[in-house]
Structures are given as C-alpha cells and as structure tokens.
Structure 1
C-alpha cells in the first residue's frame, strides 16, 4: 500500500528513512551553501518547539488561534503542528521570543512544555521534560530567609534559575520565592525536609507552585489530569468518594 506523505507523522517518516537502503544511484553527498546555512541558522534561532501535556489530542485549530492571543505576539509568528500535541513556533522577532521566559503557559488547563532546538533542530533530539515555575517555600524559619539558603532549598526542587529578593534585594516576607526548572517526568515535590542544625531535628517546608495548571491529584504528575490517571491503586474511599493523597 502506498502512503501519502502528508498523512504520515514524524515517527512514521523516521521509520521509513531508517529502512531505506542508500545506493549510488541516489546521488552523492552535497554540501549546503554557506549563505543558505546562515539564513537557516538565524531562522532556527527564533524557533521554539512546544508540547501540550494532555493524553487527549488537542484541537489544533483552536490551539493555533488562541496561543497567539495569549502570548500577545507583536511581530507575528508561524505555528505548525509537528506530531500529536507537539507544535513548532517560528517567531519573527527576538523580543517576541522572550515570551518563553514567562512560562508556565497552559492551553485548556494543560501545561505547555517549551524547548528551544539546538544544532540541526531534529525533533527526535528534543526531550521536552523541563518546565519553569515560580515556587513559594512556606514555613521557612527566619534564620533561613537568605538568598544563599533560598538557592540551596531551590536546588532540592530542581535547577535554580532565580531567587526573588524583593525590592530590597533581601529575602523577607512570609515565604521564599524561587524560580526553578522542574523535571516533569517525576511527581511534583510537596514539601522539603531539612535538618537545619544537623541535630536530627526535621523541619518541614511546604511548597506552592504558582500558576500550576490542572494535574493529577492521585500521583502528582503534571502530564495528565486525575481523570486520565493510569495509576491502578486508588486512594481510600470516604463518603463514597476517593480521597486523593495530593490536593490543590
């Protein structure tokens, strides 16, 4: 059976390429012109790939229509479906590209994971397993309300991008606020356990994720909602309803 190339997704095409047998009749290896490459590299530098973390296929037309309005792009942007819930975004201006730093972004209450391609920009090389969040760390003793300790505590959550010091530059207030790159292939941390004085006395610090979209209250993963969870073990039933181990 012949396959229409426009009906095949990237995985089908990759499998087809892997099965090809290259012969001399297919021609010799050609070098791309430097000028053409420079233009292509510049275009790739303004490209971002994003994936909507949902186990249901999103409405592509609605996504393309809505996301431009959410991001408030000024110079225009081209959005192309790649495969499933994955899209490529080609910006026309470096300033508009900064919208990526405003993550987390959501569509239909599902998290959008963004990654900038490098090298040749092959889709298979993208991991799409990191998301940036502002995380509030509550119940922090006054002794630990410093920039340095904030960076240490943030490192227990993920890769620290920024420690918010407020207008004074010092960590003062009800909680520490840390910008963290989180590994979304693992359950979200709910709290931190710290032995401050190394005397085996445990201090519990509670985490709150700002702008956290719908996620699973059963297993605390952000790549699906509770109704989509495939976890076999359910929580205890109280008054006819399941009590989830994680909450809002």
Structure 2
C-alpha cells in the first residue's frame, strides 16, 4: 500500500493536461427554455418528424416547440413559454403510436441518461360505490391505495354522477397493486 501511495505522489500533470474548462454560463447569454424530457415506451425506431406532426395539433403550444433527440427512445421537447410545457404535463398521459410516453420537467442540470422515467399520472374512475361514499375523501383514500394522489384544485372534478375519479401518479416500473376490499 505504501508503494502505491508513493507512486501516486510522484504523478503530475503537464500544463496542457491540467488546463481547466469553465462551464459557468453568463446569465446574459442564457436563453430561457422550458424543457420536457420524454421517454417513449416502445421498441420501435422513433420517427421524430412524425412525433412533431402528431403532438403539434394536440398540444396547441402558443409559441410552438422544437424537438432534440438525446438518446435511444428519449427526446426533449423545448418550449419557449412555461405555460405551454405546464399544460402538456397537466394533460398527461400521452401516447404515441399506441405506446406510452413518460414526460418530466428537465432543467439541464444532469445528463438525460441519468433521469429516471418511471412515473406518470392517470385519471382513474371508481365505479360501484354506495351513493353516500361518492365524495372527495373516498376518492382520496382509494386513490392512495393505487399511487400518489394529485390534489385537484376543484374537488368537484372528482365526482361524476355515479362514480368518482381521482388523478394518481403511478410507478410504471412496478406492477399496479389494486384492492377491492373497501370498508
């Protein structure tokens, strides 16, 4: 061990090898972008042009968006306006060519390949409940058994005639656990 430490201490870098790169950017040079990273859950090769043609009329982004391919089945949707990106996230889940698309905000602070694409929000309908249990509290309690519940600003969104609906974030890397044992 002592020999290894001695060899390590004798190691040195030349002036060229020791040169540093400054990756800090000036605020003046930075263009504000709002980015959604997307993973397409398919084995097929992605046609980026078809993706753009499909989502452009669906998302109706006021200032548009452009696409950056960053890896196998992973792309970035770059929006100029934050509200456009937020609206796309609020309206998930999205599919392309009958395959699920996992979206999440991306701030550029880490490599895309390190991102975990495993969660997505779904609206779940709950049918067959007694009339006196058709309320937001029941929706929240049952939703918690499936995944993480997203609170709705309007509790009336959860009650729909003879059923309840709740928005739940599900981890798609795990099987969905569902219990019909309600008391």
Per the normalisation by structure 2, the TM-score is 0.78
The verdict on how the C-alpha distance between 1:120 and 1:37 changes in structure 2, with shifts beyond 3 A counting, is farther
Alignment of 1:221-236 (within 5 A): none
In the other structure, the counterpart of 1:173 is 161
Alignment of 1:22-41 (within 5 A): 24=14, 25-33=16-24, 35-36=26-27, 39=30
* Alpha-carbon distance between aligned partners in 2 of 1:54 and 1:34, rounded to the nearest angstrom: 36
Q: Does 1:124 align with 2:90?
A: no
Give how far 1:33 is off.
4.4
Tell me the alpha carbon deviations over residues 82-139 of structure 1, each in whole angstroms, 9 at most, x when there is no partner: 1122111110011211222110111111111101124613213311111111100112
User: Which runs of at least 4 in structure 1 moved beyond 4 Å after TM superposition?
Assistant: none
TM-fit CA distance, 1:34? 5.3
Residue 44 (structure 2) pairs with residue 53 (structure 1): no
Structure 2: segments with no counterpart, 5+ residues? 1-12
1:200-219 pair list within 5 angstroms: none
Q: Which of residues 131, 147, 156 is equivalent to 1:142?
A: 131
**More divergent stretch after superposition (138-147 vs 48-57):** 138-147
| Structure 1 segment 69-148 matched on structure 2, within 5 A | 69-98=57-86, 99-118=88-107, 120-148=109-137
Contact 1:77-1:90 within 8 A present in 2 as well: yes
User: 1:195: how far off?
Assistant: 4.3
| Among candidates 55, 73, 76, match of residue 67 of structure 1 | 55
Q: TM-score, normalised by structure 1?
A: 0.60
Would you say how many aligned residue pairs link Structure 1 and Structure 2? 168
Report the counterpart of residue 180 of structure 2 in structure 1: 193
Query: Relative contact order: is structure 1 or structure 2 higher (C-alpha 8 Å, sep ≥ 6)?
Result: 2
TM-aligned CA distance change 1:132 to 1:39, over 3 Å: same
User: Any unmatched runs of 5+ in structure 1?
Assistant: 1-22, 197-248
Aligned in 2, Cα 1:172/1:105: closer, same or farther, shift over 3 Å? closer
Alpha-carbon distance between aligned partners in 1 of 2:110 and 2:79, rounded to the nearest angstrom? 15
Specify the alignment match of 2:3 in structure 1. Answer: none
